[in-house]
Structure 1
């Protein structure tokens, strides 16, 4: 569910406008990872990206506007879901993508900065919520396919299962300081899959029944 798989700095086609956006967003990500949200400055981002300050101010306007676009770009560039034919296989693929993202020194620091900012900046919080909505919606069909195969009960909340996979990994990132390795990712996937099969994520009346 994190920024999964795309290499920072990947240039997409689209001419000068797209190249400027890519440069500015890469610079913004670097600055966030190095300095945190509180010290993020549009003029500094423009300098890092080697573009005019006027361009950055005109297009993004505010730091929160720039971070919102950065999160949108990250969601757009994230790798599509993996379909292995089993719920555990799919959730493990998701967990390992999230783990690699959060264990990366740059990306882990970037997410810490954005999450910290989201606790006190409403627009940043909205952008972060949109980012995760996009990523959860990308992976939710894997759980629906498991329902269709009979692996998990009808009425399972597919979005909650996907969220349950990455939750322990973000907990490690933000609170415990424990090593964030593939073993942790695999445990998170195994736990979410087992809970889903047991009916832990049934919605509403289905869960109460």
Structure 2
């Protein structure tokens, strides 16, 4: 799941919550550099050692710029998560529920098994357990991703592949949950086979009506 700057008009310092204004032009390039540096720092050292001065050094921007715009490490993480949600890969639409869910599972597994991205997600999730703002940003990130992929379930219901009333968001959560368990708890391999099993189990449960409201 890549992240880049998104062009919007910037605001005067202090006119909006730090890290939530979407800039344009040079400010967008600075934001992109800072968020990339923040992701690198999180992946390398974790949330506890995230330092805005270090991020500024990595991004080759002034410390004042970083402190003025993001104020705190949690503000920086919140903006990083928002950017990741906006820039994540669009969902696959194959016309087959099994193939769509398998594509979703493989994307999650590939992301979480990547040395940088997996470490980044572990750090962010750890931070969210003790910081409300980071937790809010993480919830927003996953709400966007679930909404993006839930369309494949809705379309499967319309095609008659799944029972009417199937909760699309619950099916998508069921696909990724075993993969996050492997990342955060068991340490079992996050490979294509694990992804396919997760997708297959979610599909079978959905076809059996397990997610009907």
Same fold by TM-score greater than 0.5: yes
Does residue 205 of structure 2 align to residue 195 of structure 1? yes
User: 1:146 deviation in Å?
Assistant: 0.3
Q: Is residue 30–residue 106 contact of structure 1 (8 Å, CA) maintained in 2?
A: yes
Does residue 153 of structure 2 align to residue 147 of structure 1? no
User: 1:64 deviation in Å?
Assistant: 0.6
Partner of 1:36: 46
Partner of 2:18: none
Output the CA distance in 2 between the equivalents of 1:179 and 1:193: 21
Output the CA distance in 1 between the equivalents of 2:199 and 2:158: 19
Partner of 2:68: 58
Give per-residue Cα distances to partners, 1:21-52, cap 9 Å, x unaligned: 00000000000000000110111100110000
**Aligned with residue 80 of structure 1, among 90, 107, 113:** 90
Does residue 134 of structure 2 align to residue 124 of structure 1? yes
Output the CA distance in 1 between the equivalents of 2:152 and 2:28: 32
Partner of 1:21: 31
Listed as ranges, the gaps of 5+ residues in structure 1 are 204-209
Task: With the length of structure 2 as denominator, give the TM-score of the two structures.
Answer: 0.90
Listed as ranges, the gaps of 5+ residues in structure 2 are 8-23
Partner of 1:173: 183
Output the CA distance in 1 between the equivalents of 2:54 and 2:64: 12
Does residue 188 of structure 2 align to residue 185 of structure 1? no
User: 1:11 deviation in Å?
Assistant: 6.5
Which protein has greater RCO, CA pairs closer than 8 Å, 6+ apart? 1
Q: Is residue 34–residue 56 contact of structure 2 (8 Å, CA) maintained in 1?
A: yes
Output the CA distance in 1 between the equivalents of 2:5 and 2:75: 21
Output the CA distance in 1 between the equivalents of 2:161 and 2:176: 20
Output the CA distance in 2 between the equivalents of 1:18 and 1:118: 26
User: 1:61 deviation in Å?
Assistant: 1.0
Residues 67-106 of structure 1 aligned to structure 2 (within 5 Å): 67-106=77-116
What secondary structure sits across from 1:17 in the alignment?
helix
User: 1:15 deviation in Å?
Assistant: 2.2
Q: Is residue 5–residue 31 contact of structure 2 (8 Å, CA) maintained in 1?
A: no
Q: Is residue 5–residue 83 contact of structure 2 (8 Å, CA) maintained in 1?
A: no
What secondary structure sits across from 1:199 in the alignment?
coil
**How many residue pairs align between the two structures?**
197
User: 1:12 deviation in Å?
Assistant: 6.4
